Amino acid sequence: MSQRPRSTGETVTDATSSFAVTNAAVVTPDAVVEGGVRIEGDRIVAVGDVDDADAVTVDADGQYVLPGLVDLHGDDIESHLHPRAGARMDTHMALAAADRANLAAGITTKFHAISFEIDPDADRSPELGAELTDAIESTDDLLADHRLHARCEVTQEECVDAVVDVTEAGNADLVSVMSHVPGKGQFRDEEAFLQYYRDSHDHTVEEAEEMIAERGDVSMETIRERIERVVDCAHANGAVTASHDDEDPAEVERLAEAGVDISEYPITMATAERAHELGMTVTMGAPNLVRGESQWGNLATADAIEAGVVDALVADYHPLSLLAGTFVETGEPLPERVARVTANPASAAGLPDRGRLEPGARADFVVVDRNPTPTVSRAFVAGDPVYRAEGSR
């Protein structure tokens, strides 16, 4: 089966099958309704009380039907490509494995967060980023809709040049700017940076100190000039933009002024609140919500949700957390929680055709058994039944 055509709302006519999923708890934008979903070709034509005549019928047996999840930031491809440090697997094998793993997690639209960063010990380089970009663009046997989220390390000029190249080629749908250096991102100070690498298998503390010296030598003025270059290039080529690990309200204001659309993982509540006030889409990590805390001691996703400043969740390093996070009790109705992983990220990415179970929407949806842990039993992408996991115990 070929990779799904890129879509921003246009009708795709290559799918001709008619399916009706019945006997389900259907999560619509406003409520959970008993009934089903009917699709014709690649579109949803009815939700709720559906006519299943002349259709291939799937009995959901009371399970939930959700829109297909939209992940704006998942770097799990790295674990498929390098299951151990220095152990490189075939690129197509890694991408195919990520494809199936994400479908099993309910993700039907995947933005692979590929790091354009010079860090050989972590198996990252602009050359590898370009190779993965080519694979995402050219592989034609994937089941989900795969897209590129190019992550640009702005402390390294070579990475800025590489991201500009793939963006100008029209290969990036989302571009984010990041600066992994103490005091300019997720690590608030040098000690936090070094502590991370003390616990890491990728670098020695000595190597971390070298990184501090190299990256810390770049002035904030230069970093901001590079950010503007990347953001301007992205917008000129139709890509959405994001910033990574925003550390304070003043920096968020500068990023918003530069045209950044999304604030990823703001590390303090004040930063998240300011990004929200400025109209940026605020995304937080689903693993943070599922685990109940930030890995780095930064802002907890649950606290940010309680404050009303989280628009979308992202899978980050663990795809299954995106689905599991939907069912973490936050005191909100289920449709509101579902929107954080479906309609909201779809809208933020400029994909209004998906993320909602309503007539006319693209037929991306999943059937989910909530107990004992949220598990996908079926997935449809653009109307095609691409994943099934059923059996008896």
Q: What is the pTM of this model?
A: 0.90
**From 146-150, 374-378, 389-393, the region with the lowest mean pLDDT:** 389-393
Ramachandran bin of 338, using left for φ above 0, alpha for ψ from -120 to 50, beta for the remaining angles: alpha
Q: Residue 209 above 70 pLDDT?
A: no
Q: What is the dihedral of CA 330, 331, 333, 338, to 10 degrees?
A: -10
| Residue 86: predicted pLDDT | 84
The 3-state DSSP class for residue 39 equals: strand
- Which 3-state string (H, E, C) describes 243-282? EECCCCHHHHHHHHHHCCCEEECCCCHHHHHHHHHCCCEE
Q: Is 23 helix (H, G, I), strand (E, B) or coil?
A: strand
pLDDT score of 200? 53
Which residues partner with 368 through β-bridges? 64, 376
Burial bucket for residue 189 (CB in 10 Å: 0-12, 13-18, 19+): exposed
pLDDT above 80 for 217: no
* pLDDT, average across residues 49-73: 97
* Lowest mean pLDDT segment, chosen from 67-71, 178-182, 330-334, 341-345: 178-182
pLDDT at 6 over 90: no
What is the model's pLDDT at position 325?
98
**What pLDDT sits at residue 10?**
41
Mean pLDDT of the chain: 90
Percent of the chain with pLDDT over 70: 86
Q: Residues 6 or more apart from 6 whose CB is under 8 A from it?
A: 145, 147
Confidence label for 120 from pLDDT (cuts 50, 70 and 90): confident
Query: What backbone torsions phi and psi does residue 110 show, to the nearest 5 degrees?
Result: -120, 120
pLDDT of 211 reads 60
Q: How many angstroms separate the CA atoms of 151 and 244, rounded?
A: 9
Segment 234-246 mean pLDDT: 96
pLDDT of residue 340: 98
Give the chain's radius of gyration (CA, Å). Answer: 21
Chain-centre distance for alpha carbon 21 = 27
Stretch 150-176: mean pLDDT:
97
**Percent of the chain predicted with pLDDT > 90:** 80
Buried residues in 207-230 as b, exposed as e (16+ CB within 10 A): ebeebbeebbebeeeebbebbbbb
Instruction: Using DSSP bridges, classify how beta strands 18-27 and 64-67 pair: parallel, antiparallel or unpaired.
Output: parallel
* Joined tokens for residue 246: 């925003």
How confident is the model at residue 25, as a pLDDT?
98
* Alpha carbon distance 127, 119 (integer Å): 11
pLDDT of residue 7: 45
Residue pair 305/341 in contact (Cβ under 8 Å)? The answer is no
Report CA-CA distances (Å) from 99 to 35, 65, 109, 110: 29, 20, 10, 9
Q: Is the pLDDT at 14 greater than 50, yes or no? A: no
Average pLDDT over residues 5-14: 43
Q: Calculate the alpha carbon distances from 343 to 58, 199, 285 in Å.
A: 24, 37, 17
Reported as a single tens digit per residue, the pLDDT across 336-369 is 999 999 999 999 999 999 999 999 999 999 999 9
Tens digits of per-residue pLDDT, 302-323? Answer: 999 999 999 999 999 999 999 9
Query: Exposed, middle or buried, 48 (CB in 10 Å: 0-12/13-18/19+)?
Result: middle
For residue 13, pLDDT over 90 is answered with: no
Nearest to 240 by CA among 169, 310, 167: 167
Give the CA angle between residues 323, 328, 329 to the nearest 5°: 145
**CA–CA distance, 367 with 376 (Å, rounded to integer):** 6
Mean pLDDT of 239-255: 94
Residue whose tokens read 């697997």: 89
Instruction: Walk me through the domains of the chain, giving residue ranges and CATH numbers.
Output: 18-66+355-388 (2.30.40.10), 69-348 (3.20.20.140)
Query: Region 73-93: what's the mean pLDDT?
Result: 95
- Counting beta carbons within 10 angstroms of the beta carbon of residue 1, is it exposed (0 to 12), middle (13 to 18) or buried (19 or more)? exposed
